[in-house]
């Protein structure tokens, strides 16, 4: 599939592998007549980390929810490769655990401890209780919450609640992880720590990630590729790469290379807001 929306910036969009999910001419008009998204063309490669960046109201979350199967597109087609083979279309959230979703809020069950919250998707899928508990405990350990299995949401900090939410999304070993501004409400120190931990998990698990954010700095730090969207209606206007190597850490975050990428993406976002 050809690159779309790339302006003459000297940077080309790439995918990491065969497409896991492909959007072709996707649009969404809500019942009240609002045209939220129009003509979105995008291919997300296997193992890629892609951020959707844009101002509020540009349709980032709408695109993510359509990919997840939570809402249906009005026009166009969304295809997700079944079993790793491109060309087959499935409904993502009905694809046998192929997709995990992390919302803006942790959305934890207040009456369940951390272990039970993470076990939920496994139990809904019919996994035996003992196996589900073992897998949930392992998922909590992977996000740094070993020892907090019996803690209830009311006893956890905001960052810890989000870690539980991430563990719940990853416990089914999804091929595609969708994240809708998961760290936006957190303080800067916690946000930086979770950014680092997310990249560690991504490198270890090799899932494909689509991450919605309105932060230039976060998108540059996390992503291999940044899709910039403009509003009214929401559409892709630039599709750019961040060619800095992984793993990334504080050395990259304070480097001149990072600052240059941030300036470049900030300029793209400014152009998008003027569209």
Q: Mark whether 68 and 203 lie in a shared domain.
A: yes
Task: State the CATH number of the domain containing residue 187.
Answer: 3.40.50.300
Number of structural domains in the chain: 2
The answer to whether 99 and 20 are in contact (CB under 8 A) is: no
Going by C-alpha positions, the residue among 28, 93, 80 that lies closest to residue 59 is 28
Domain end marker among 157, 173, 189:
173
Structural domain containing residue 205: 1-98+175-275
Q: Mark whether 126 and 32 lie in a shared domain.
A: no
| pLDDT tens per residue across span 255-267 | 999 999 999 999 9
Of 242 and 6, the structure prediction assigns the larger pLDDT to 242
- Residues of the chain with pLDDT > 90, as a percent, come to 83
Q: What is the pTM of this model?
A: 0.88
How far CA 242 is from CA of 14, 50, 123, 265, in Å, comes to: 10, 10, 39, 9
| pLDDT tens per residue across span 15-49 | 467 889 999 999 999 999 999 999 999 999 999 99
The answer to whether 76 and 89 are in contact (CB under 8 A) is: no
Q: Mark whether 247 and 134 lie in a shared domain.
A: no
Q: How far apart are CA 64 and CA 211, in angstroms?
A: 9
């Amino acid at each position: 599939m050809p690159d779309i929306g790339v302006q003459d910036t000297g940077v080309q969009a790439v995918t990491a592998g065969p497409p896991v999910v492909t959007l072709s001419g996707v649009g969404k008009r809500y019942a009240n007549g609002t045209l939220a998204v129009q003509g979105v063309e995008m291919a997300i490669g296997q193992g890629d980390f892609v951020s959707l960046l844009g101002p509020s109201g540009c349709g980032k979350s709408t695109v993510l929810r359509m990919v997840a199967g939570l809402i249906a597109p009005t026009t166009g087609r969304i295809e997700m490769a079944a079993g790793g083979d491109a060309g087959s279309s499935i409904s993502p959230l009905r694809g046998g655990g192929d997709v995990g979703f992390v919302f803006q809020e942790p959305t934890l069950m207040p009456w369940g401890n951390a272990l039970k919250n993470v076990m939920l998707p496994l139990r809904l899928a019919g996994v035996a209780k003992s196996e589900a508990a073992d897998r949930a405990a392992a998922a909590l350990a992977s996000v740094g919450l070993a020892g907090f299995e019996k803690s209830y949401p009311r006893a956890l900090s905001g960052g810890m609640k989000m870690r539980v939410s991430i563990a719940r999304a990853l416990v089914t070993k999804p091929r595609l992880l969708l994240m809708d501004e998961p760290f936006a409400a957190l303080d800067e120190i916690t946000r930086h720590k979770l950014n680092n931990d997310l990249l560690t998990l991504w490198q270890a698990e090799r899932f494909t990630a689509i991450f919605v954010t309105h932060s230039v700095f976060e998108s540059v730090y996390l992503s291999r590729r940044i899709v910039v969207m403009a509003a009214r209606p929401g559409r892709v206007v630039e599709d750019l790469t961040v060619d800095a190597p992984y793993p990334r850490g504080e050395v990259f975050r304070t480097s001149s290379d990072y600052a240059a990428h941030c300036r470049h993406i900030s300029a793209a976002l400014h152009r998008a807001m003027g569209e």
